[in-house]
Amino acid sequence: MGCGLGRSSSGSNNTRKKTQRLSIEPRMFLSKNKGRLSDDYVFVRNLGSGAFADVKLYLYKPTNQTRAVKIIHKVGLHQQQMDAEYMLKEISVLTSLDHPNILRCYEIFEDLWRFYVVIEYCAGGELFSKLVLMSKFTEAQASEIMFQLLSAVAYCHERLVIHRDLKPENILLEDNEGSLKIKVADFGSSCFIDPKKHLSGCFGSAYYVAPEVLMDEYNEKCDIWSLGVIMFILLTGQPPYPGKNSKTILQMIRDSPLAISESKVPGVSASAIDLLRMILTIDPKLRINAKTALNHDWIKQHREIGTPADLSKTLKILEAFHSTAKLKDAIHIFLATQVISHEECKMLTENFVKLDKNADGKISKDELVSEYVEAFEEKEAKNRVEQIIQRVDVNLNGDIDYSEFLSACMNYTNYLSKENLEAAFKLFDLDNSGFITADELREVFGDANAFGDGVWKEVLKQVDLNGDGVIDMKEFIALMTSNVN
């Protein structure tokens, strides 16, 4: 069901100019290319198709990794799904998000008729397809899935992003190895929101639409309702409405929205029913938000059952991380987001989630201090954490974001191949001249007005060994393979 995009507003990025440090956004390194997929991609097989989009699996040759490519036919797009530069709004949303449970976007290609959005491949496929094959599914497993969904949605809402199409088909399993690690996908109906305004426009699939959406006046709480319907299905194995078609279901939502009673969810714990009622509250003003839901007893009790994590190795790596020339910072982020192996990313993500105690998608100073005080006096712990934040926090927001954590903790010796470094070099060599200029650095890093020309020249100077005013491949490789930070 789609009636066009609602109103949107974009947030602002703050920079701390007084620190004279260069802010690097972890998710900004998205290549935008004219023309069809480059020769770096080899088609593997079809993954799925819809009315206006197809999803195919490709091999990305530079890193020998599989990636999914969402091919969107422009003829099916609503005008409001495009920005002022005729680029997909979905891309601006995805590149503002950096969370372990949100699908990563690598690059985008465009020709006259289509967009080719290169995204992370989730080998486990759709979550619910996997669940129907499981012989047993427990409340603890349902809680694990809901924790991840609530964490992702809380993160989006804090950044004024609303998804508007949360449903089982858009929840993917990271792998086929039996874990229930999920990724929220398909932000095609998403937009930035203005907290002072309500959205309009009908989005989503019938079962998961909040009652207020049908009244054409809603806010981010519609995502919470969709999560409630998903939770209902996880707990009961049944859809909440008996209607056999979208028209009937929408009529039921409009006339008699879902009300939770024990008879509707037989055999489910009182704690789960309590949270379900809070999420599926009909009045959006009274409906619980994602951040509060994360602290509900039903979520917390199942999280606390797990074995305490030994994070000592990760904490040592964080403390030992040293940052550097700003260009090297950027390449670290590129490698962490583009070429890290699935196995290493999975291990580091588990540690990130354990350190992110309030599940807001970032590691705060207080969360790090709470770990370091186990081994040091409080004053010493705070000093060590302050130094870590100074080194690792490349976008200067005061916290350690997901990609910053990966960048600081990954083993770079595994990724400094010629192919990976050439791919990173091309990210900055926008005109394919074989050299990186100060102007190209300014464009890749983003906000050209946030820093004066002197900053970009200084960044280039740190790497330009022969003093010719540009960075060539030899200088670039020397930067990345040197032990000097």
Query: Which pLDDT tens digit goes with each residue over 28-42?
Result: 556 666 667 877 899
Q: What is the reported pLDDT for 308?
A: 60
Q: How many CB atoms lie within 10 A of CB 6?
A: 22
Range of the domain at 430: 416-485
Q: Does residue 74 sit in the same domain as residue 151?
A: no
Residue 209 covered by a domain: yes
Q: What are the 10-residue block averages of pLDDT along the chain, 485 residues in total?
A: 35 38 58 71 91 89 89 77 64 88 89 89 88 79 95 96 92 86 91 84 81 89 95 88 83 82 86 95 94 95 69 83 71 80 89 93 95 91 93 88 90 77 82 87 62 69 88 88 59
Q: What is the mean pLDDT of the chain?
A: 82
Q: What is the reported pLDDT for 146?
A: 96
Task: For residue 373, give the 3-state DSSP assignment.
Answer: coil
Query: Which pLDDT tens digit goes with each residue over 90-126?
Result: 888 888 899 999 999 888 888 888 889 999 999 999 9
Q: Does residue 340 sit in the same domain as residue 286?
A: no
Q: Does residue 261 sit in the same domain as residue 142?
A: yes
C-alpha dihedral sign at 140, 146, 150, 152: positive
Domain endpoint, select from 356, 380, 409: 409
* Structure tokens given for 397: 């927001």
Binding residues for ATP: 70
Whether 448 and 384 have beta carbons less than 8 Å apart is answered as no
Q: What is the reported pLDDT for 8?
A: 33
Residue 25 covered by a domain: no
Q: How many CB atoms lie within 10 A of CB 69?
A: 23
Q: Does residue 172 sit in the same domain as residue 225?
A: yes
Q: What is the reported pLDDT for 241?
A: 83
Going by the DSSP 8-state scheme, the letter that residue 453 receives in this structure is: H
Q: What is the reported pLDDT for 19?
A: 35
Whether 183 and 102 have beta carbons less than 8 Å apart is answered as yes
Domain endpoint, select from 58, 86, 120: 120
**Residues sharing a CB contact under 8 Å with residue 456, sequence separation 6 or more, in sequence order:** 438, 439, 441, 442, 445
Provide the total of helices (H) and of strands (E) in the chain, helices listed first. Answer: 18, 15
Q: Does the annotation count 165 as an active-site position?
A: yes
Task: For residue 247, give the 3-state DSSP assignment.
Answer: helix
Q: Does residue 133 sit in the same domain as residue 233?
A: yes
User: Which of 98, 165, 399, 429 is flagged as catalytic?
Assistant: 165
The DSSP H or E segment spanning 69 is strand 65-73
CATH number at residue 49: 3.30.200.20
195: amino acid identity, one letter: P
Binding residues: 70
The CA–CA distances, whole Å, from 200 to 9, 93, 120, 141, 411 equal 13, 18, 30, 35, 46
